[in-house]
Amino acid sequence: MFAKLLIANRGEIAVRIIRACHALGIAAVVVYSEADRRALHVRLADEALPIGPAPAPESYLRIEAIIEAALRSGAQAIHPGYGFLAERAAFARACRDAGLVFVGPPPEAIEALGDKIAARRLALATGVPIAPGYHGADQSDETLAREAARIGYPLLIKASAGGGGRGMRIVKSADELSSAVESARREARAAFGDDTIFLEKLLVRPRHIEVQILADSHGNYVHLFERECSIQRRHQKIVEESPSPVLTSKQREMIGEAAVRLARAAGYVNAGTAEFLYDETDGNFAFLEVNTRLQVEHPVTEAVTGVDLVQLQIAIASGARLPFRQEDLRQRGHAIEVRLCAEDPVTFLPTGGRLTRFDMPRNIRCDAGVETGDEATLYYDSLLAKLIVHADDRAAAIERLRAALDACAVEGVTTNLPLLRAIAAHPAFVAGETTTDFLTAHEITQHLPAPAPIPDEALLAGAIADVQPLAHGRAAVRDPWGALGPWRMLRTDMPLRYRDGDNERYVRITEDANAWRVEIEGKVYVASVLAVQPDHLTLRMADGRIERFTIARDGEARIIEWRGQRFCLVHAALAIERLGAAGHSHSRAGLEAPMPGTIARILVREGDRVSAHQPLVVLEAMKMEHIVAAPHDGIVLRLPYAPGALVAKGATLVELEEG
């Protein structure tokens, strides 16, 4: 067994591996980027080494930096976790060349199975059925168009080196193919460094079923049964369970044997997952891919089999034999896992910020990568924690899941917790009707409870923060509100409009002697400023209450923290007028970034005439692409940013004049 192991990852999975190392008496070393210097995995590790700036290509994807850190720390092995470099054959080979043990399959097996095109060819050779598609070496647009016509629409574009939905596009007609191919290639290149794609016939309502496999270096292979992962958003799983509620024992045996057959053919060693699509109409399976790494959802397999997959990974990498045979393994009870993510529960757009409260239930397993006070960064995946329940049967597991979700309390960051609660309560989920279109077929997001409106106190503080500095001639050097952007000109009477979800909130603020008179939709508040610091505002209300606010700028928005809660104020528009003067309006619109990210591509130029719904800017966040389109016909007046620029949520990406 190793004395010291380096974890080439971050967040929840790094914490999970640290705990497995400590259970085995192994010292755990982690690496971290500048964005993660105070992260939980850094605090829990025995040793932590910096490897670069926040962007993943400059830190967690730098093979040479991670190898150097491992050698410098004296580690004998590297565990890649999942994501980042976990499925890069070049990384596994670099570890071997440096005399380090890679906790995962050999590079040859990664090349045979990790590349999705190569895996499909191997599946065909071993008699494992695959969905109709094209996985040829010719990647020309002409060939792809011809093959797409042969396969028929709708179809899927997939990244050969991809995973987690990145580089994946649904194409419903030939008119959509060219732009979808370009976008998928760009996203795959950014996420994986490889823009090779393939085409696959789209099954409209399948189930997503995967099989956990384990193999040692002595020729022993087993499967640890299946997980069903059908409930997804943006092709990324959010609910996983074992066993599948629909498989018969014969189907379970058949799919397990197919997964082991693939692993043997590839000379696989360590943990991996074979994924399949299951068509309920005919009971047939179609091979999707093999993930040559540990899966996010591995805890449900651990719950029903009673094995520790991470400890077994490390033991296998050190040369140990599997401690059991296939006939020794059983599924016991039912387990369900849900992924708690820092994202909007309706749009699925990533969110971020400081977790002012992060309370998870203590009577179930919770694999978390954060604690109260930590920052949910937007540089990486949005996963905060995984909640895993286990019970004697599926009905009891669902009841435990509902109770666990009700016990969760997260403040400071918007999460998908309302979505998870809605899924767990839905009759179709209880009935086991969990196809991949579950969210859309049952319109889950359309029935989520509306978020509570921003309280008047937060609006009041934001409005005072907007006008206070210039009203009293403060210098902008230390003043967090000095750069007021489009609302620099000040009069003693200002009408403001803020966006609160889909609604607009109207505020009128007037300087009144030594206080501010703030009218919010008919209600009048009077407050005086007691203290202004770079990121804090203290107010005395008319009734004598003292209220303290933390206020920060995020692009053209303000982040207000008050009484343990976090609110984002975005200016819907701003009109400045003298008392009694008429307001001013115009037909210019600023198209804002829906989340922080990087400008991947600008599709128009200043002066261009554009049509409604025309794509204007491609924004990349969490390694996914988001299209910012024109809301109406118009003329592009200004493009404030260039490709490659980092922008905050609310930043104006395009100034568009209607007409």
In 10 A of CB 264, how many CB atoms? 14
Is the CB of residue 374 less than 8 Å from the CB of residue 354?
yes
- Higher pLDDT: 589 or 551? It is 551
Separation of alpha carbons 399 and 396, rounded Å: 5
Higher pLDDT, 133 or 490: 133
Give the separation between CA 12 and CA 33, rounded to whole angstroms. Answer: 15
Alpha helices in 448-577 (DSSP H): 456-471
Cα dist. 567→154, 380, 506, 654 in Å? 41, 22, 16, 25
Structure tokens at 650: 């609310």
For 506-528, how does the pLDDT look when each residue is reduced to its tens digit (9 = 90+)? 888 888 777 899 999 889 999 99
Give residue 465's pLDDT band: very low, low, confident or very high (50, 70, 90): confident
pLDDT tens, 177-197? 999 999 889 888 877 778 899
What is the CA 581 to chain-centroid distance, rounded? 48
Q: How many helices (DSSP H) and strands (DSSP E) are in the chain?
A: 16, 39
Q: What's the whole-number average pLDDT of the chain? A: 87
Give me the pLDDT at residue 252, please.
96
Does residue 616 surpass a pLDDT of 60? Answer: yes
Most confident among 153-157, 160-164, 232-236 (mean pLDDT): 153-157
CATH architecture of 204-447: 2-Layer Sandwich (3.30)
In CATH terms, are 4-103 and 204-447 the same topology?
no
Q: How confident is the model at residue 612 (pLDDT cuts 50, 70, 90)?
A: confident
CB 217, CB 269: distance < 8 Å: yes
Query: How far out from the chain centre does Cα 59 lie?
Result: 18
| Beta carbons within 10 angstroms of residue 596's beta carbon | 22
Of 76-85, 162-171, 371-380, 446-455, which gets the smallest average pLDDT? Answer: 162-171
pLDDT tens profile 534-555: 778 999 999 999 999 988 765 5
Q: Which CATH class is domain 588-658?
A: mainly beta
Kindly report the three-state secondary structure assignment for every residue of 570-638: EEEEECCCCCCCCCCCCCEEEEECCCCEEEEEECCCCCCEECCCCEEEEEEECCEEEEEECCCCEEEEE
Query: What's the average model confidence in pLDDT over 413-438?
Result: 95
What's the rounded mean pLDDT across residues 530-536? Answer: 83
Share of the chain above pLDDT 90, in %: 60
User: Could you tell me which CATH number the domain at 4-103 has?
Assistant: 3.40.50.20
| Longest alpha-carbon distance in the chain | 86
Of the candidates 245, 556, 640, which has an alpha carbon nearest to the alpha carbon of residue 429?
245
pLDDT digits (tens, 9 = 90+) for 71-129: 999 999 999 999 999 999 999 999 999 999 999 999 999 998 877 888 888 999 999 98
Whole-number pLDDT of residue 483:
38
For the segment 294-317, the average pLDDT, to the nearest whole number, is: 98
pLDDT for the residue numbered 360: 97
- pLDDT bin (cut points 50, 70, 90) of residue 556 is low
pLDDT at 6 exceeding the cut of 50: yes
Does residue 476 surpass a pLDDT of 60? no
Mean pLDDT, residues 39-60? 95
Kindly tell me if the per-residue pLDDT of 484 is higher than 60. no
pLDDT (tens digit per residue) in 195-241: 899 998 888 789 999 999 999 999 999 999 999 999 999 888 999 99
What is 132-201's CATH number?
3.30.1490.20
Give the whole-angstrom CA distance, residue 399 versus residue 607: 58
Confidence of residue 165 (pLDDT cuts 50, 70, 90): confident
Q: What is the pLDDT of residues 369-422, one digit of tens each?
A: 999 999 998 888 899 999 999 999 999 999 999 999 999 999 888 899 999 999
Question: Around Cβ 394, how many Cβ atoms within 10 Å?
Answer: 17
User: Are 389 and 406 spatial neighbours (Cβ–Cβ below 8 Å)?
Assistant: no
pLDDT of the residue at 141: 93
Please state the rounded mean pLDDT for residues 596-600: 81
- What value does the mean pLDDT take over residues 124-153? 91
pLDDT greater at residue 31 or residue 560: 31
Work out the average pLDDT over 38-48.
98
- State percent of the chain over pLDDT 70: 91
Please check the confidence at residue 572 and state whether its pLDDT lies above 90: no
Fold of 456-574: Glycoprotein, Type 4 Pilin (3.30.700)
Domain range summary for the chain, segments of one domain joined by +: 4-103, 132-201, 204-447, 456-574, 588-658
Q: What is the 3-state secondary structure (H, E, C) of 246-301?
A: CCCHHHHHHHHHHHHHHHHHHCCCEEEEEEEEEECCCCEEEEEEEECCCCCCHHHH
What are the backbone dihedrals phi and psi of residue 281, each rounded to the nearest 5 degrees, phi first?
A: -65, -35
Catalytic residues: 293
* Paired tokens of 656: 């568009």
CA-CA distance, 143 to 604, in Å (whole number)? 28
| CA-closest candidate to residue 256, choices 200, 297, 301, 299 | 301
CA distance linking residue 59 with residue 61, whole number of Å = 6
Cα distances (Å, whole numbers) of residue 14 to 79, 82, 494: 9, 9, 50
